Amino acid sequence: MNPSTQLRPYPTRRSLLWTAATAALSAPLLTACVTAGAKDEGEAAAGGEKTAGNPMGVRAGAPLEVVVFKGGYGDDYAIAAEREYTRRYPQAKVDHKGLQKVGEAMQPRFVAGNPPDVVDNTGAGRLDIATLVGAGQLTDLAGLLDAPALDQPGVKVRDTLLPGVVDDGTFGGTTVALNFTYTAWGLWFSRSFFAGRGWTFPKTWAEMLTLCAEIKKAGLAPWTYQGKYPEYLNDPLLSLAAKAGGLELIKAVDNLQPNAWRQEPLVQAAGAIAELAGRGYLMAGSEALSHTEAQAAWCRRKAALIPCGSWLESEQKGVTPAGFDMVMGAVPSLTGDDKLALQAASSESFVVPAKAKNPAGGQEYLRILFSKASATAFAKANSTLPAVAGATDGLELSSGLGSVRDAVAAAGAGTFSYRFRTWYAPLAKAVDDATGELANRRISPADWSTRIQKAADAVARDTAVTKYTR
Statement: residue 20 has pLDDT above 90:
no
Provide mean pLDDT across the span 279-285: 98
**Is 416 within 8 Å of 470 (Cβ atoms)?**
no
Summary mean pLDDT of the chain: 90
Residue 29 near residue 107 (C-beta atoms within 8 A): yes
Rounded to the nearest 5 degrees, what angle is found at the Cα of 378, between the Cα atoms of 376 and 381? 110
Tell me how crowded residue 205 is: count the other CB atoms within 10 A of its CB: 23
pLDDT reading at 1 higher than 60: no
> CA neighbours within 13 Å on the CB side: how many for 152?
21
Residues in the chain: 470
Model pLDDT, residue 17: 32
Whole-number pLDDT of residue 383: 82
Return the CATH fold of 3-183+346-405: D-Maltodextrin-Binding Protein; domain 2 (3.40.190)
pLDDT score, position 7? 31
Mean pLDDT of the 299-327 span: 94
Domain boundaries, the chain: 3-183+346-405, 184-344
pLDDT given for residue 104 in this prediction: 94
What pLDDT digit, counting tens, does each position of 54-72 carry? Answer: 999 999 999 999 999 998 7
Question: Distance (Å, rounded) from C-alpha 446 to C-alpha 438?
Answer: 10
- For the chain, what percent of residues have pLDDT higher than 70? 90
Condensed to tens digits (0 to 9), the pLDDT of residues 204-245 reads 999 999 999 999 999 999 999 999 999 999 999 999 999 999
Q: Do domains 3-183+346-405 and 184-344 have the same CATH topology?
A: yes
Give the least confident one: 25-29, 120-124, 425-429: 25-29
Q: Which CATH class is domain 184-344?
A: alpha beta
Q: By three-state DSSP, how is residue 96 classified?
A: strand
Residues contacting 339, CB < 8 A, separation 6+:
243, 244, 245, 246, 247
* Euclidean distance between CA atoms 55 and 148, whole angstroms: 8
pLDDT at res. 46: 58
Q: Note the pLDDT of residue 24.
A: 35
List residues bridging with 223 in a β-sheet: 282, 305
Q: What is residue 73's predicted lDDT score, i.e. its pLDDT?
A: 87
User: What is this structure's pTM?
Assistant: 0.80
